[in-house]
Each structure stands twice: as C-alpha cells, then as structure tokens.
Amino acid sequence: MHGLFLPQKIIVFINSVDFLDDIYVKKNAYYTKDQWLDDLAADRTPDHSKTLSSLHTQSVEFPKRRKVIAQAFFKSKIAGLAKTIARVTLGELAQLKNDEIVDLPVFTQKLYSKIAITFLVGRKNSTKTIQWEMDDGRMKEINICHGVQKCMQYYFSERVKNPVFILFPFL
C-alpha cells in the first residue's frame, strides 16, 4: 500500500486484492466515517436522495447502501476488474509508436476514460463513435471514450475557474 498526502486530500494506492477484501468485505461492518463527514451529512436533504458519502452513519439507509457497495470489492470481482484494466491499458500502450512522445496527462485521461467506458458499456461498445459538435459548430465523429475524456476536461476546467471548488472540493 502506498499513499499520497495532498492539500485537502489523501490518496491511497492498494496493490493487493486480499487487502481490499479484508477492508471492504470482512471488516466493512466495523468501519464508520470521520465525525466531520458525518457533520456534513447532517443537512436537511432527505436520505433517499443522498449518496453513501453524504449519508449520516446513524441513518437507516447507511448500512443498506454500504452493504451493496461492499459487494463490488469481493475478491473475485476485483480480480476481474484488474484483468479488464490491464487489457485496456496494454491495448492503448500497444497503439503507441516506438519513438512516440506523448503528453502524459492527456494520455492518462484518455486511458481512464477508455477504462471507465469499457466497464460501463462493455468492450465491444467502447469502440463505437458518436457525433461531437466542435467549437466552430461543425459535427465530427469521435470515439465515445474521447467524448467522455473531453467532457471530463470541460468539467474540471470549469471547476477550477470557481475558487469555492478549490477551497472546498467536497462540495
């Protein structure tokens, strides 16, 4: 397990299916959220319209939703996810030319989009194309994964323009 400590965020990288299984399946019932996250969840929004991260741990809905999400971390499912991620990643790397220089952040965003779309719509559908309106109004056919990547770029570039999201990323 490795971790990064960034301003307002801790990122943990886990490289063991057994560790994930232990945390999210075997010991899941014993975990709760930090108090400040629970305090954020104590607003007046009805529980049925909240995500798991915004539910108060004492809510009737919290254990039900946590149990559903824990199933995604079963050892057998994580192993399947890892195979798909490896297949998509190796496929994208194989398309690079020997001496090609890539813009790593852009390549990584495209790779994340391709992986996410592959999980959402399946391997065959992830190669399909969609009509995309260019900045000048022309329509262009692009890969669905490229479309998702462009949407993500737009979303994050808009968030960065608003200082509230930089200071309070949990909003």
pLDDT per residue as tens digits for the range 118-133: 888 888 888 888 898 9
Q: Are 117 and 87 in contact (CB under 8 A)?
A: no
Where are the chain's structural domains?
13-73, 99-171
Segment 6-21 mean pLDDT: 72
pLDDT at 87: 92
Distance CA 3, CA 38 (A): 24
Q: What is the pLDDT of residues 46-93, one digit of tens each?
A: 655 667 666 777 778 878 877 777 777 777 777 788 888 899 999 988
Q: CA triplet 43, 49, 53: central angle to 5 degrees?
A: 65
Q: Which residues contact 53 (CB under 8 A, 6 or more apart)?
A: 33, 37, 41
Asked whether the whole model's pTM tops 0.75, one would answer no
Phi, psi of 74 (to 5 degrees): -60, 145
13 Rama sector, left if φ>0, alpha if ψ -120 to 50, beta otherwise: beta
pLDDT on residue 171: 57
* Section 109-126 average pLDDT: 84
The kind and range of the H/E element at 3 are strand 2-6
Give the model's pLDDT for residue 167: 65
Q: Rounded to an integer, what is the distance from CA 102 to the centroid of its chain?
A: 23
